[in-house]
Amino acid sequence: MNRIVIRSSEGEYPVLCGRGLVGRAGWLARQLPEDRTGVFLLTSPRVWRACGRTLSRALAPAQTRRILFDDRETAKELRTVERIARELVRNGADRGAVIVAAGGGVVGDVAGFAASAYMRGVRLVHVPTTLVAQVDSSIGGKTGVNLKEGKNLVGAFYPPELVVADPDLLSTLDPRQYRSGLYEVVKYAMIADPLLFDVLERTIERLIRRDDGVLDWVVARCARIKGEIVGRDERESGERQALNFGHTIGHAIEAAVGYRGILHGEAVGWGMLGVAEISREMGRLRTEDAGRIGRLVVRLGALPKLPAPGAIAKRLGSDKKARAGRVHWVLARRVGEVEINADVPDELVRETLGRLGRMPKDLAAGAAKAPRREIS
Ligand SMILES: NC(=O)c1ccc[n+]([C@@H]2O[C@H](COP(=O)([O-])OP(=O)(O)OC[C@H]3O[C@@H](n4cnc5c(N)ncnc54)[C@H](O)[C@@H]3O)[C@@H](O)[C@H]2O)c1
Ligand SMILES: [Zn+2]
């Protein structure tokens, strides 16, 4: 088992990564604070079908009440938080309650926000059950819901007391959902970890097959990277922005398709292809490194069709990360290092978006399209 300690404004909390942790009868119950007055498992019907037996055995000695809620992105809204809070009241939850949020990022964000607000805050444990949740959303304390006007616009920083990431729980995940999480894994390698990038290049096919030998190591490695970054910059005033690598274009793609048909990770996959090309064109990234990023993204499989370049461009300025009308780019400098807060000429953005849809084919064909440039 890997024990990763995360620093936060509310104190430290551990992320425990290990295969089979949640499978051990009673194990999860024994990790919960002893002075609790009740345990409330918050999860979705789908996660309950996939992982319910494991979760209830793991929590069995703790007399747990279960509250199920819809974890579709469309249900990630204030109304769901109100429903959860009312269920908590009806089930007798008081200030000593512990909420165990078991699910993907939607469950974690909604249940986490409910935990932050219920009686002005009750204790929270995350049991992430998707790859995205294990390597990303359960770590760093961001919780929240969407408004009609945009994603994640209402929320709170609310660090959990404990995160338990058990890769065994990922075995029931839909292949496309799983693969979508792998784009975020590539992102971590790109922003912070050349060794992880090398490992991915050598083992990506095994990782796609969910080979335990690789997957368990990768989950812990990414959780550690996320933990280190949010530990240094919880509120995203600087370094945490690096986590948005590939997300500037990615978010614009998601918005352009109305969050339908392209999964978040897939949009980030497109976004990383685009921004690697922009970084290369701007002389920040060597052609060789841009090629490595591109080929790794392409090896993860076919990406869904892109919306029209103009539709993506139109959404770029409305990204939450665009402050004072300026889009803040995260550019690649080399594998394992990025530059935050960069400006990119509009012309280059437009030109890159125009070519983006063809890039996977060109990369797969190994076409050398661009002359080498000197790095400043
Ligand atoms: N708080 C953060 O820092 C942060 C970071 C990244 C993403 N997010 C948020 O996370 C959400 C996306 O999360 P996600 O990618 O985990 O997707 P998700 O929560 O939508 O889950 C994807 C699907 O997988 C199902 N599922 C979950 N676990 C399963 C399992 N073990 N077996 C079978 N099915 C399972 C879910 O029911 C759902 O249908 C978005 O709302 C995003 O905004 C938050
Ligand atoms: Zn993301």
Q: In angstroms, how far is the first alpha carbon of the chain from the final one? A: 43
Residue 129 DSSP SS3: coil
**Pocket test residue of 8, 70, 132, 154 for ligand 1, highest count of atoms within 8 A of CB:** 132
Q: Which of 107, 139, 172 is the last residue of a domain?
A: 172
Ligand 2 mean position, distance from CA 96 (Å)? 33
Euclidean distance between CA atoms 123 and 140, whole angstroms:
15
Domain enclosing residue 218, as ranges: 195-364
Of all ligands present, the nearest one to the C-alpha of 152 is 1
Burial of 371 (0-12, 13-18, 19+ CB in 10 A): exposed
**pLDDT tens-digit map of 218-269:** 999 999 999 999 999 999 999 999 999 999 999 999 999 999 999 999 999 9
What is the distance between the alpha carbons of residues 298 and 301, in angstroms, rounded to a whole number? 6
Q: Which atom of ligand 1 is nearest to the CA of 184?
A: 6
The sign one gets for the Cα dihedral 360, 362, 367, 368 is negative
Q: Give domain status of residue 371, yes or no.
A: no
Phi, psi of 96 (to 5 degrees): -90, 10
- The answer to whether residue 111 scores a pLDDT higher than 70 is yes
What's the DSSP call for residue 320?
A: T
Residue 170: pLDDT over 50: yes
Residues 19 and 116 in one domain: yes
- Domain with residue 252: its CATH number is 1.20.1090.10
Are residue 352 and residue 204 in the same domain, yes or no?
A: yes
| 81 and 209 both lie in a single domain | no
Atom of ligand 1 nearest to the CA of 71: 37
pLDDT, tens only, 78-104: 999 999 999 999 999 999 999 999 999
Who lines ligand 1 at CB under 6 A? 44, 46-47, 50-51, 71, 73, 76, 103-107, 109, 129-130, 132-133, 136-137, 140, 142, 152, 169, 172-173, 177, 264
Residues in the chain: 376
d(CA 173, CA 19): 15
Dihedral pair phi/psi, residue 91, rounded to 5°: -95, 10
Domain boundary (124, 141, 172) is at 172
Q: How confident is residue 321, by pLDDT bands cut at 50, 70 and 90?
A: low
Q: Burial letters for 264-293: b for 16+ Cβ neighbours within 10 Å, e otherwise?
A: bbbbbbbbbbbbbbbbbbbebbbeebbbbb
Helix axis angle, 175-192 relative to 287-299, nearest 10°? 160
- Domain termination site, one of 172, 205, 233: 172
> Which ligand 1 atom is nearest residue 139's CA?
3
Q: Rounded mean pLDDT of the chain?
A: 95
Q: How many domains does the chain have?
A: 2
> How many angstroms does the Cα of residue 282 sit away from the middle of ligand 1?
34
Tell me the three-class secondary structure of 177-213, residue by residue: HHHHHHHHHHHHHHHHCHHHHHHHHHHHHHHHCCCHH
pLDDT cut 70: percent of the chain above it: 95
Does residue 178 lie within any of the structural domains?
no
**Mutation to probe ligand 1, out of 137, 139, 259 (largest number of atoms < 8 A from CB):** 137
pLDDT of residue 364: 87
Same domain, 147 and 217: no
Catalytic positions are 120, 142, 184, 226, 236, 240, 244, 247, 251, 264
Between the alpha carbon of residue 52 and those of residues 55, 88, 102, 185, 370, the distances in Å are 5, 20, 10, 27, 52
Mutation choice for ligand 1 from 51, 53, 74, 109, CB with most ligand atoms inside 8 A: 109
| Nearest CA, atom 13, ligand 1 | 105
User: In this structure, are 232 and 306 located in the same domain?
Assistant: yes
- CATH at 107: 3.40.50.1970
Q: What is the pLDDT of residues 49-80, one digit of tens each?
A: 999 999 999 999 999 999 999 999 999 999 99
Q: Give the tens place of pLDDT for each residue, 289-314.
A: 999 999 999 999 999 999 999 999 99
| Ligand 2 centroid, distance to 11 Cα (angstroms) | 25
Band of residue 326 on the pLDDT scale cut at 50, 70, 90: confident
Q: Is residue 180 part of a domain?
A: no
Residue 249 in domain: yes
For residues 228 and 297, membership in a common domain is answered with: yes
Average pLDDT value for residue range 109-127: 98
Question: What is the gyration radius of the CA atoms in the chain, in angstroms?
Answer: 21
- The pTM for the full model equals 0.95
Strand ranges inside the chain, DSSP E = 2-6, 13-17, 38-43, 64-68, 97-103, 123-128, 142-147, 150-157, 162-165, 329-334, 337-342
